[in-house]
């Protein structure tokens, strides 16, 4: 984000996602600015879809072959079943986290901004499947690693939600009214 600021341009989606992992307080604060408002859900969606495409390439090829064979609905069903599994964790986290942020923000609440903050906090949950897939490709995957990284990503996201509550409470009355 510092590089984007020094070049006089708004940070891109990759810089915003990296900031959510490396410097979360800056990412949370940036999501509350006029330039960053409303971008966190789209950034999270890009991360989830990129991770899905990177880790499910064989299933996507299988779905394409099903479509080429005349069973397009079966291919779509195959992809949507896998995609729903990938979306479930981050989506539930964002909804529960956004509601919790709105309630914990007190008189500084701004529902849209609170859900933006929850999307920033969900970035570790969306990034972890790609890391797991990479570890599996390297032959380092195990069931214990899956459990540990799942707990780690939810714990990391919960820690970011705590920071997000602090960020939400820093809003002035004028910002909360927007």
pLDDT in tens, 103-153: 998 888 888 889 999 999 999 999 888 888 888 888 887 888 888 888 999
Domain assignment present for 77: no
Residue 156 lies in a domain: yes
DSSP letters for 50-105: HHHHHH-HHHHHHHHHHHHTT-HHHHHHHHHHHHHHHHHHHHHHHHHHHHHHHHHT
Question: What is the number of domains present in the chain?
Answer: 1
- Which of 5-14, 25-34, 44-53, 132-141 has the least mean pLDDT? 5-14
| Domain coverage including residue 151 | 2-54+88-177
Residue 9 has pLDDT above 70, yes or no: no
The candidate with the shortest Cα–Cα distance to 102, out of 93, 92, 112, is 112
In the predicted structure, residue 176 carries a pLDDT above the cut 60 = no
- 159 domain-assigned: yes
Structural domain contains residue 79: no
73 lies in a domain? no
Q: Tell me, what's the pLDDT at 143?
A: 85
Residue 146 lies in a domain: yes
Residue 69 lies in a domain: no
Q: Tell whether 23 is covered by a domain.
A: yes
pLDDT digit string, tens, across residues 46-58: 999 988 888 888 8
Could you tell me if 21 and 124 are in contact, meaning their C-beta atoms sit under 8 angstroms apart? yes
């Amino acid at each position: 984000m510092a590089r984007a600021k020094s070049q006089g341009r708004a940070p891109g989606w990759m810089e915003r996602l990296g900031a959510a992992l490396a410097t979360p307080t800056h990412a949370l604060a940036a999501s509350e600015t006029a330039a960053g408002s409303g971008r966190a859900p789209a950034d999270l969606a890009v991360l989830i879809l990129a991770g899905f495409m990177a880790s499910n390439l064989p299933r996507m090829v299988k779905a394409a072959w099903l479509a080429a064979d005349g069973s397009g609905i079966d291919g779509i069903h195959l992809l949507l079943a896998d995609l729903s599994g990938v979306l479930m964790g981050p989506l539930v986290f964002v909804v529960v986290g956004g509601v919790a942020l709105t309630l914990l923000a007190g008189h500084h609440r701004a529902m849209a901004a609170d859900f933006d903050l929850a999307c920033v906090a969900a970035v570790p949950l969306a990034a972890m499947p790609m890391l797991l897939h990479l570890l599996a490709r390297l032959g380092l995957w195990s069931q214990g690693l899956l459990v540990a990284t799942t707990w780690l990503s939810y714990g990391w996201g919960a820690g970011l939600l705590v920071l997000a509550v602090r960020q939400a409470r820093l809003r002035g009355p004028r910002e909360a009214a927007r």
